[in-house]
Amino acid sequence: MDVGGSLLSQILLETITPVVMVLPTPLVEEACQKNNLNFVQILRPFCFYDKIDVPVRTASDQPYRLQKFKLRMFYASEIHQPRIESAEEHLRQVVDNASEKAFAELQGNPQQLEVVQKMAESESLSSWLQVYNKEFIHTLSFSEHEAFDHPIACLLVVSSKDENPVNKFVDLFNTDLLPSLLNEGAMDPKILKHYVLIHDNEDGPADKANEILLEMKGTFGPHDCRLLCINSLQSNEEIIPEDIWTPFVSSSLADNSSSDHVLGLCFNRNDLEQINEFMQEFSVKNIIPYMEQKIRSLNQQVSATRKGLKNQFKNLWWHKGKDETADVSNGSIYTFSSIESQIRILGDYAFMLRDYELALSNYRLLSSDYKIDKAWKRYAGVQEMIGLSLFMLDQSRKEAEYSLETAFTTYQKIGASGQRYATRCALWWSELHKARGQFKEAANVYFRISSEEPSLRAGILLEQAAYCYLRANPRMLRKFGFHLVLAGNRYTICGQRKHAIRAYMCVLPVFEGDGWNYIRDHVHFNLGRWYAVLGKSELAIQHLIRLLACSHQSAVTQEMFLGDFLRVFQSVGKKYEMLKLKLPAINTTSLRIHFEDHRTYASATAILLPEKTWQYLEEGLVPSTSPTSSNWLDSAARSSSKSLKGKDSNICIAGEAINVELEFKNPLHIPIEISAVSLICDFIPEMMLEKIGVGHHGEKEIGSEIAVSNHSIDEEGNISDRGASSLVLSEEAFSLKGGQSMMVHLKVTPKMEGFLQIVGVKWVLSQTVTGRYDFTSQLPKKKRVKGKSNDSTEYPSHQRLKFFVLKHLSRLEGTIHRMPVKTNVGELHRLVLELSNQSCETIKNMKLKISHPRFLMVGELEDLDAEFPACLETKKNKRVHAGCVIEDDSDVKTKSSNTIFTFPKDISIEGESTLLWPLWLHTGEAGMISLSMSIYYEMQTPSEYMNYRVMRMHYNVQVVPSLDISVHITPCPSRLQEFLLHLDIRNYNSSESFWLRQISSVGKQWKLASLKPSLLDIKETEDESDSNAVNSAYLSASVCPSQLLPAGQALSLFFRLMNPSERSSVSDLTSTNCQLFGTVDLILAVEQQDEACKLSLGDLSDAQRISSHHICHCSVINDCPIWWIMEGPKTVIHDFSSPSFCEIKFYLTIKNCSNMSISVSVETSDNESVVDQTSDTPQASAARNQVGWYDISLETDEMGKVKEGPGQGASSIIPSNEFSELQTAVPCSPFMWFALSSTNIKQLGPQSSVTLPLSLSAFAPGVYDLSNYKLLWTLHQDKIDPHMKLDVRSTASTDEHDRLEISSLNIQNEASTFSGYGTGGTYSGIALGHPFILTVLQSTCSKSQTFGS
C-alpha cells in the first residue's frame, strides 16, 4: 500500500506539524495591514516545503532525509481550545458556505452517478467534506493531553518604529500575553525564541533598522535575529498579479472576518523572496535542529529512567499504590515536567519529524502508565497515536485498527467531554480503511459515530458513508442511496435544505431504474416541495412533471398528481410551453423524417436503409465535392454548396412533402385529451435569406425569437401570419385511453423556395397546458473532427431538420419486374428494370451501381428479346465483364463494388416515357441478401444548386440451400496425364428436384470426359494408327448425361480430367504432376424441375428455371512426392511345353514431382500366386499362400480351341484337384522376377523422371497380381547433385533390352522447404505398387503372343 499517497497521510502531514507562536507589536500589525493582511497571514504561504531535502538524525546514529515539512503559525491569543458553542457556530458557517457553492453548481440538474462516483474517488483535501473534517479537527487543537499542538518556538516580532526595540522583545514574552496552558504548567515555557525586526520601506531607508539589528545580535545572539523589510513596492512598479494569500487567509475561530480588498498590494517580488528565505532558514537552521536536540536529550532521559530491567521493576513497584485510586479522566495530575509528559513530548516530536519507529516505541511505553493510572483521556490519545504510527509504518494492520478502536471506545466511555475526540478518532479510523480500499468498513465507522452526533454533523457523516458504499467493489448502490437519503433527512432537520436538495439530486440516478418507482416518486415530491419553499417554482414544476408519467401508481394517485401539477402551473401566473411535459409520452426513437433532395427513393425499404450504406455504395457514382476534383460536375457542386450557405442543411424540392412520423403514448390509467398536434416550423423566403443574416452552416437559429406558432418573415423583415401561403401543415387531434399508443403522421409541404426548419412538435393537454417538444434540444451540437480542416466539419443528425427549398425538378421512378422474394442457391433469373420519367423534361447521362454485382448483374439490351437460355451463350471475340461497361478504359477491375454501369450516351428518357433494361440475378450463397441499387441521372435543365439526382432501390431476397457439391481429384493410377474427378452431390432442398444437365471446366487448360465407354467393335490389337479413332470415340461421348436428383437425395459422378494439349505418350511428364497441377474451376448446370422427367434435354423454354453452381480452386489430393506407372502386356499366350517358361518385359516409369532431390529404391517380390481359383475349399485357400511352380496342359476340343467345362471361365484356369496335386508336387513360385531384384536411384532431380526395365518369367498359366512391389523414397533437404546417380544390383546379366532409359530435366540447385523433416534433414516413405493383373494362357502354337501393352 502506498501510504505516502493516501489521503490520511496528507491529512496527518497537514495537521500534526510543529506549531510556532507569534508575538508581534501593534506597529508590526499596522505595517502589515497596508496589504490587508496580518503578520501571521503573510507568513502562512511560506510555511510549507514540498522538496526541502534536509538530513535529520534523532535518537539513532543513522540519519535520514526529510523531504516535506510544514509549520503552523498562530498568535499567542489563538493557542487555546475554543468553546463548544463557538466551535459549532464556526462549523455551521463552513457548511453554509459549502451549501451556497454546491447549490449554485447544481442549477437544478440531477447529478449523474458517474459524476458523483468520480467526485468521491477524486476525494482531496480541497473537497468541502474534507474542509469540514479539517476544521472540526482544528476545534480540538491545543488540548492538555497532547503535545503536538504545543508551540515549539516563539517568534518575537518588533517594528523598527517601536521605541527601544530591544526592550520590547523582552517585554513581549511575559505571562500576560502567553497562552493559558503555558501558564498552567501543561506546556513547557522553555521553548526556542527567534527575534524578528520588521522595517517598513515606506517609512524610509533601513539604516536605522540595521543598527537595531546589530544591537539585537549582541543581546540575543547572531543566529536568532533577523531583519525583514516589507512594503517595498515603488510607484512605478506593478502589483504582483499572483494571489498567494487567499487560500491561507485565517479561518480561525477567533477571527471570522473576511475582506474583499486586494491582498499584498504593497509587496514586490524582493519582499516575497526575502520572506521565503527567512522562513526556510528558520525551519532548516532553527526549528529542525532544536527538535533533533530535544529528541536526543529526552530519549537519554527516558532511557535512563524507564528503559531496562531495573527501571521496569522500579516503575512497577512505584505504580502499585495507584491501583485503587479514582479515575483521572482529565489528567490534571500530569505537568510538563512529569516523566509521562516528557515521554509524550518525545513521541510527538518524533512523529512530526517522521521517525515513526521512535514515536511508536514511546507511545507503547506510555500507554501502560496511563492505563495503570486510569488516565483514560490520555490513554485514549496515546492509543490513537499508536494506530496512526502503525499506519504510517504500514505495519500490523490489525493492531492499528485495534488501537484506533480502543481509543474510540475509551473516548466514548469518558462521556460528553470525550465525544468530540471520539468523532475525531472515528475520522482517522475511517480514513485508514479507505486508504486500504476497505470502503465498506469505513462506511460502518461513519454510520456508527453518526448516531451519537447532532443532526448537522450526523448528516455529513452519513453522506461520507454513502460515498464509501459507492466506492466499494462492487458498488453498493442501494446502501449508497439509503444513507444519502438519511443524510438529506438530517440536513432538513437542521435547516440545511440546499444540502438536502443536493443529496436527493445525487440519489436520483440510483432510483431511475425499474424497481424503484415509489422511492423515485418520493424523491421528486420532496424536491418539488423544497424548491417551492425556496421560491424556485420552475424547478419545482420540473420535478412535479416527473410525477405525471407514473404508470405504476393507482388511478386515484395519478389523478391527484395531475391535479396538483395543474394547480402549481396555474399559480405561476405565466403562460408558456412546457418543454418536458410527459403527457403524452413521445417515443423519440420512432421519429422518422422522410424527404427527397438529390436522393429519391423507389420503395419504402430503400428509405429505411441506413444512409452510410448508400454513401458507401455511391462512392465513385456521385461526383465528389473534394477540392482536388476538377471536372465540371464537381465544380458546380462546390459552387452550389457555397451558394446555399448551409452545408449542414438538407435540400428539398418545392411541392414535395416532408413526412414526419412520431409515436404518442398515454402512460397513465386515466384517459387524456390531446388536441392541436402539429409541427413547429420556421420558414424564410429566398429573397429574405440575406436580409435576416442566416450564417454559414446554419449557426443562427432563425426561429429563436419567434413565438410558438408557425410564422414566416415577410419581405420587409416583419413577422407575419402568412405561414399558410408558404407552408402547408397538417394538424391532428385525438384522445388516448389508458396505456394506448398511436403513431401520428405529420406533414409539411413548402410551396416556394426558401429556408425551412422543423423545430419540433406541439400539442395541448386537457385544454390547459401547451406541451412542446423540440427535436433539436434533444440532439447534440455539431462538432469538428480533430486534425481536419474546417471543411471536414461533422454535423450531428439533428441538422437534417433544416431544409433549403429549391424549385421543382424532374424525378425518376423505377421498379424491377420479376424480382423473386425467395430463390434457390445458384438459380438464374432474368429481370427487367423499368425506369419512368413522369416530368416534362428529358433525363440523360444515367449510370447505375449495384451493391452486390456478384449476384445482380446488368445485361445487354438485346437480352430482352433473346430466347432464354440461348442468350446465355458466350460469343467469341466479345469482351464481357458482368454485363457492365466499365467507366474507366483501364483493365477490368476485380473489385465488384467499384463496378459502375454507364448507359449508352444515346439512351435518354424523354418526358412521360419509360425505359426497359435487362438484369440477371444469380445467387451463390444461402441466406438473406440485401440488394441495393443507385441510379444516377441528370436533368436537361438542372437547378443552380442541384445538377443531378440519384434514385435508390432496395430489395430483400431470401436464398435457400439447393445443392451441396464436394470435389475430390486424385491422380490416375494408370495414366500420368490424367486425373480422376469424383463429384458428390447432395440435394438439400426438401421440395424440389434437379436435373443435372452439364458439367464443364473453366478455361482451355483442362478437358473433362466421362469414364471411357466399352467399344466392342474396337479391338485391343489395333495399332497406333487406329488410336485416334478410339480417342475420338470416347471424347465425343456426353460429358454429363442428364440425371435426375430428387429432393433430399444424393448421388456421385466420376469423370476424367485431361490436359488436351498433351499426347498420350508417357515419355513427356513435365507438365502433368501434382506440384504443377494448380487448381481447376468447375461449373455444374442444372435445371430445377418440380415433376420428374417432365421435359427432355432439348425442351428448355423461357419459363424454365436454370441454375449454375461454381466449384472453384479444386486441387489434387496426393501426399506422395513421386508418381510411377508400370507398362507391359496385360495378356500373354505361351506354349509351356517348349520352353517351359515365358519371359515377359515390363517398364517402370518413376517421376519426382517435388522440388527437392529424392532417392528411390524399388523392391520386387516373387511371393505371389494365382489371384482367383474356382474352388473355395480349405485346401485351395491354403494353396494360395504356398510358393511353387507347376505345369498344366489345357484340354482342347476338336477345333483346337480351349475347352471350357462347367464352372470354368476366363478366370478359372486350373481345376482345383489338379492344382492341389501340382502344389504338392513342385514347391516353386509360378512366376519369378529376374535381372533386377532391387534398384536404387540415389539422387533423382526435381521434376525429373527415369524408366526402369523389368523382366518376369512365368512357369505356368494363370492370372497373376503383379502389384506386390514397393517403392521406398527419401527426400533430401541438402543441395542436389546436378548429375543423377543410379546403383543397380542385378542377379543376372542383362542384354541391350535391359539398359536404363533416363530422361533428365532441369535440376534446381537448392531444395525448397518441406514440412516433416527428421533430425537428419530427410523425409521418407513407402509407396505400394499399383494394381496390375497379368493373364498367362496356354497356347497350342509354339509362338508366344502378347496383348494390351
860: amino acid identity, one letter: E
Task: Report d(CA 1240, CA 1219) in Å as an integer.
Answer: 37
DSSP string, 1283-1312: S-EEEEEESS---GGGS-EEE-----SSPP
pLDDT at 409: 95
pLDDT tens per residue, range 1206-1223:
333 333 333 334 434 434
Confidence band for 1060, pLDDT divided at 50, 70 and 90: low
Smallest CA-to-CA distance from 569 within 766, 773, 777 is with: 766
**Buried residues in 394-405 as b, exposed as e (16+ CB within 10 A):** beeeeebbebbb
173 pLDDT above the threshold of 70:
yes
- Collapse the DSSP code of 97 into the 3-class scheme (helix H, G, I; strand E, B; otherwise coil) and give the result: helix
Q: In percent, how much of the chain has pLDDT > 70? A: 74
Among the residue ranges 565-579, 649-663, 1033-1047, the one predicted with the least confidence is 1033-1047
pLDDT tens per residue, range 1116-1168:
766 678 878 888 898 988 888 777 888 888 888 888 878 888 888 888 877 65
Q: What is the pTM of this model?
A: 0.55
pLDDT at 648: 66
Q: Is 1008 exposed, middle or buried (0-12, 13-18, 19+ CB in 10 A)?
A: middle
pLDDT at 1033: 34
Collect contacts of 884-891 with beta carbons under 8 A, ≥24 apart: 884/853, 884/857, 884/858, 887/847
Q: Is 603 exposed, middle or buried (0-12, 13-18, 19+ CB in 10 A)?
A: middle
8 A C-beta contact, residue 164 and residue 124 = no
By DSSP bridging, strand 650-653 and strand 802-806 are parallel
pLDDT tens per residue, range 212-261:
999 999 999 988 999 999 998 887 777 777 778 888 775 544 444 444 67
| DSSP structure class, residue 698 | G
Roughly what angle, to the nearest 10 degrees, separates helices 416-435 and 7-15? 140
Distances in Å between the Cα of 795 and the Cα atoms of 412, 609, 645, 647, 1199 are 64, 20, 14, 9, 106
8 A C-beta contact, residue 814 and residue 848 = no
8 A C-beta contact, residue 1093 and residue 1311 = no
By DSSP bridging, strand 948-960 and strand 913-922 are unpaired
Residue 913, phi then psi, degrees to nearest 5: -130, 175
pLDDT at 1171: 44
Residue 105, phi then psi, degrees to nearest 5: -75, -25
**Buried residues in 1172-1192 as b, exposed as e (16+ CB within 10 A):** ebbbeeeebeebeeeebbbeb
1278 pLDDT above the threshold of 60:
no
Task: Report d(CA 265, CA 282) in Å as an integer.
Answer: 25
- Collapse the DSSP code of 930 into the 3-class scheme (helix H, G, I; strand E, B; otherwise coil) and give the result: strand
1202 pLDDT above the threshold of 50:
no
8 A C-beta contact, residue 851 and residue 896 = no
E strand segments, 430-472: none
366-392 average pLDDT score? 92
Confidence band for 429, pLDDT divided at 50, 70 and 90: very high
Task: Report d(CA 898, CA 890) in Å as an integer.
Answer: 13
1244-1267 average pLDDT score? 86
Residue 677: count other Cβ atoms within 10 Å of its Cβ: 20
Residue 280, phi then psi, degrees to nearest 5: -70, -40
pLDDT at 1039: 55
DSSP string, 384-415: HHHHHHHHHHT--HHHHHHHHHHHHHHHHHH-
Task: Report d(CA 186, CA 144) in Å as an integer.
Answer: 6
Q: How far is CA 943 from the centre of its chain?
A: 45
pLDDT at 463: 92
DSSP string, 986-1051: EE--SS-EEEEEEEEESSSS-EEEESPP--TTS-TT--GGGHHHHHHHHHTS-SS--EEE-TT-EE
8 A C-beta contact, residue 412 and residue 422 = yes
Q: In percent, how much of the chain has pLDDT > 90? A: 26
Q: Which helix (H) or strand (E) holds 1082?
A: strand 1080-1089
Confidence band for 1103, pLDDT divided at 50, 70 and 90: low
856 pLDDT above the threshold of 70:
yes
8 A C-beta contact, residue 330 and residue 322 = no
* Average pLDDT of the chain, as a whole number: 77
Among the residue ranges 175-179, 453-457, 459-463, 887-891, the one predicted with the least confidence is 887-891
1342: amino acid identity, one letter: S
Q: How far is CA 798 from the centre of its chain?
A: 26
1271-1286 average pLDDT score? 61
pLDDT at 1078: 65
Distances in Å between the Cα of 1329 and the Cα atoms of 299, 964, 978, 1124, 1280 are 102, 35, 18, 9, 27
Task: Report d(CA 738, CA 601) in Å as an integer.
Answer: 38
Smallest CA-to-CA distance from 805 within 859, 752, 732, 847 is with: 752
H helices within 33-122, ranges in order?
39-43, 84-106, 113-121
Smallest CA-to-CA distance from 464 within 414, 429, 413 is with: 429
Smallest CA-to-CA distance from 1125 within 968, 1286, 1249 is with: 1249
pLDDT at 187: 85
8 A C-beta contact, residue 906 and residue 810 = no
pLDDT tens per residue, range 120-137:
777 665 688 888 999 999
pLDDT at 798: 45
**239 is written with which cell numbers?**
502589483
Task: Report d(CA 1171, CA 1148) in Å as an integer.
Answer: 22
Q: How far is CA 379 from the centre of its chain?
A: 57
1001 pLDDT above the threshold of 80:
yes
Residue 923, phi then psi, degrees to nearest 5: -100, 135
pLDDT tens per residue, range 43-87:
999 999 888 889 999 888 788 999 899 999 999 989 988 899 999
705 pLDDT above the threshold of 80:
no
Distances in Å between the Cα of 1021 and the Cα atoms of 538, 633, 1128, 1223, 1320 are 112, 78, 14, 35, 51
**716 is written with which cell numbers?**
420587409
Task: Report d(CA 565, CA 524) in Å as an integer.
Answer: 12
Residue 318: count other Cβ atoms within 10 Å of its Cβ: 10
Smallest CA-to-CA distance from 565 within 534, 507, 524 is with: 524
SS3 content of the chain, % helix, strand, coil (to 5): 30, 25, 40
Between 779 and 1244, residue with greater pLDDT: 1244
pLDDT at 1322: 60
644 pLDDT above the threshold of 70:
no
Residue 184, phi then psi, degrees to nearest 5: -80, -5
By DSSP bridging, strand 1007-1010 and strand 1050-1058 are antiparallel
pLDDT at 424: 94
pLDDT at 1206: 38
Residue 682, phi then psi, degrees to nearest 5: -125, 135
At a CB cut-off of 8 Å and minimum separation 6, what does 1316 contact?
A: 1323
Among the residue ranges 381-385, 447-451, 772-776, 899-903, the one predicted with the least confidence is 772-776
**Buried residues in 904-929 as b, exposed as e (16+ CB within 10 A):** eeeebbeeeeebebbbbbbbeeeeeb
**591 is written with which cell numbers?**
421519429
Task: Report d(CA 1035, CA 573) in Å as an integer.
Answer: 101
Among the residue ranges 176-190, 245-259, 545-559, the one predicted with the least confidence is 245-259
**257 is written with which cell numbers?**
472576518
Smallest CA-to-CA distance from 951 within 1056, 861, 846, 880 is with: 846
